């Protein structure tokens, strides 16, 4: 639900008449690591259109490197789960009040919310009410769960930039302006056919069977997935002498949580790799992967995967009781293909034994792997649209740039 009273969005036109300004001020609000990737690609392309533009907002490492004047780090917004959000609500509300004050003082030409819809949509409603243009980059998954949020999106965004080809049609049915721009990762990530080279980069044995673990970037999800992933590694280690494991670690806090679980569970040797998830993926014969953008990255690198996820039990029970989730599939490869290309082990199914068994099926069935590789290549091609450039052109069009 919105964090501000629900009022009808203003129809007032943007004041200040800076729509054709060759040096606009553009505010971007990114909510986590995946949003930081999207924001950086967008900023770099917007610079080609507006070389003297000023970029401000909430950003991560990549957006900072692209030149965003960072008021807060995007890790401040990386909260997941209904009850988890409630526990952080006072802090987030205070942050948003200060953010609104800064934005209204600055009056940027456009405010672009990147993902993080629970935070950004309410902010966009407020900005739009004040006559500031708004863009929501990454469609909230209203086609999957909490469909009533589409009414909030209609009040919040002048334009929705969609990463997936089936989304604009959904928004057109609700009279919301939406553009398919493709996914920047599909442009950036190439299929990798050199697992030996990737293993050498992260100090693994080049010829050993390798299983990679991607437990996520949020502390909550890592704390819930570390146990079944490490347990699966123990089982696979018993079944396959000489097998090796690598784990993609988002930051030092995540590493501390994961190491604690490794010690508690007497884990087999697992190579922990910070800030290089793509090498961890490319090194793998198969990947145990948390739900989310990481499943897309595994698909683009073209490795077999097993998707798994756990949320707080209270969040899961509430979602089931209220029938909030309408997804047929949960991993992005399955959603894009509209078929069960990869196993999905969620909540009580996300056990060490189930993960190990699903990984073993990929390790032991070369024909199934080859079929999967062909489907992943086809999906990769569908998403390749030069997404950063298309997104920047759509923003420029909203700003009235006739060259866009």
Compute how many other C-beta atoms are within 10 angstroms of the C-beta atom of residue 84. Answer: 18
CA angle at 7 for the pair 3 and 13, rounded to the nearest 5°: 110
Contact 218, 78 (CB under 8 A): yes
Q: Residue 103, class by beta-carbon neighbours within 10 Å (0-12 exposed, 13-18 middle, 19+ buried)?
A: buried
At 79 the pLDDT is 54
Quick one: how far is CA 31 from the chain centroid? 9
Contact 115, 91 (CB under 8 A): no
Walk along the chain (404 residues) and give the pLDDT tens digit of each residue. 333 333 333 434 444 334 456 799 999 999 877 789 899 999 999 999 999 999 999 999 999 999 999 999 988 876 544 444 556 668 788 898 999 999 999 999 999 999 888 889 999 999 999 999 999 999 877 655 556 778 999 999 999 999 989 899 989 988 999 999 998 889 989 999 999 999 999 999 999 999 999 999 888 899 999 999 999 999 999 999 999 999 999 999 999 999 999 999 999 999 999 989 999 999 999 999 999 889 999 999 999 999 999 876 655 555 554 454 556 788 999 999 999 999 999 989 999 999 999 999 999 999 999 999 999 999 999 999 899 999 999 999 999 864 44
Nearest Cα neighbor of 128 from 170, 158, 92 is 158
Question: Pseudo-torsion of CA 392, 393, 395, 400, nearest 10°?
Answer: 140
Token pair 């996300």: residue: 350
At 33 the pLDDT is 79
**Rounded Cα gap, residues 170 and 154, in angstroms:** 12
Task: Output the six-digit token pair for 43.
Answer: 């900023």
At 329 the pLDDT is 86
């Amino acid at each position: 639900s919105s964090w501000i009273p629900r009022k009808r969005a203003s129809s007032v036109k943007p004041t200040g008449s800076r729509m054709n300004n060759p040096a606009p001020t553009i505010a971007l609000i990114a909510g986590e690591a995946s949003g930081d990737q999207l924001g950086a690609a967008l900023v770099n392309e917007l610079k080609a259109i507006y070389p003297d533009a000023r970029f401000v907002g909430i950003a991560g490492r990549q957006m900072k490197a692209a030149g965003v004047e960072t008021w807060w780090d995007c890790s401040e917004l990386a909260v997941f789960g209904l009850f988890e959000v409630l526990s952080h609500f006072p802090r987030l509300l205070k942050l948003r009040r200060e953010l609104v004050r800064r934005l209204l003082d600055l009056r940027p030409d456009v405010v672009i919310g990147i993902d993080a819809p629970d935070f950004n949509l309410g902010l966009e409603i407020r900005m739009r009410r004040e006559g500031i243009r708004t863009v929501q980059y990454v469609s909230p998954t209203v086609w999957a769960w909490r469909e009533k949020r589409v009414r909030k999106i209609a009040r919040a965004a002048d334009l929705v930039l969609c990463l997936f080809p089936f989304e604009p049609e959904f928004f057109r049915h609700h009279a919301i302006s939406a553009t398919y721009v493709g996914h920047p990762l599909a442009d950036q990530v190439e299929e990798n056919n050199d697992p030996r080279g990737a293993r050498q980069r992260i100090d693994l044995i080049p010829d050993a069977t390798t299983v990679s673990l991607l437990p996520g970037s949020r502390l909550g999800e890592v704390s819930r997935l570390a146990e079944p992933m490490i347990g699966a590694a123990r089982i696979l280690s018993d079944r396959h002498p000489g097998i090796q494991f690598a784990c993609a670690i988002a930051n030092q806090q995540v590493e501390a949580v994961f190491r604690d679980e490794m010690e508690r569970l007497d884990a087999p040797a697992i190579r922990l790799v910070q800030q290089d998830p793509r090498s961890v993926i490319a090194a793998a014969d198969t990947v145990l992967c948390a739900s989310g953008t990481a499943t897309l990255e595994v698909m683009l690198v073209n490795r077999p995967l097993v998707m798994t996820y756990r949320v707080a039990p209270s969040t899961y029970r509430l979602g089931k009781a209220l029938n909030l989730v309408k997804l047929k599939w949960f991993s992005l490869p399955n959603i894009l293909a509209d078929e069960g290309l990869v196993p999905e082990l969620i909540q009580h199914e996300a056990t060490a034994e189930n993960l190990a068994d699903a990984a073993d099926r990929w390790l032991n069935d070369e024909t199934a792997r080859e079929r999967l590789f062909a489907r992943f290549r086809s999906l990769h091609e569908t998403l390749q649209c030069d997404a950063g450039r298309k997104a920047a052109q759509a923003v420029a069009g909203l700003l009235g740039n006739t060259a866009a």
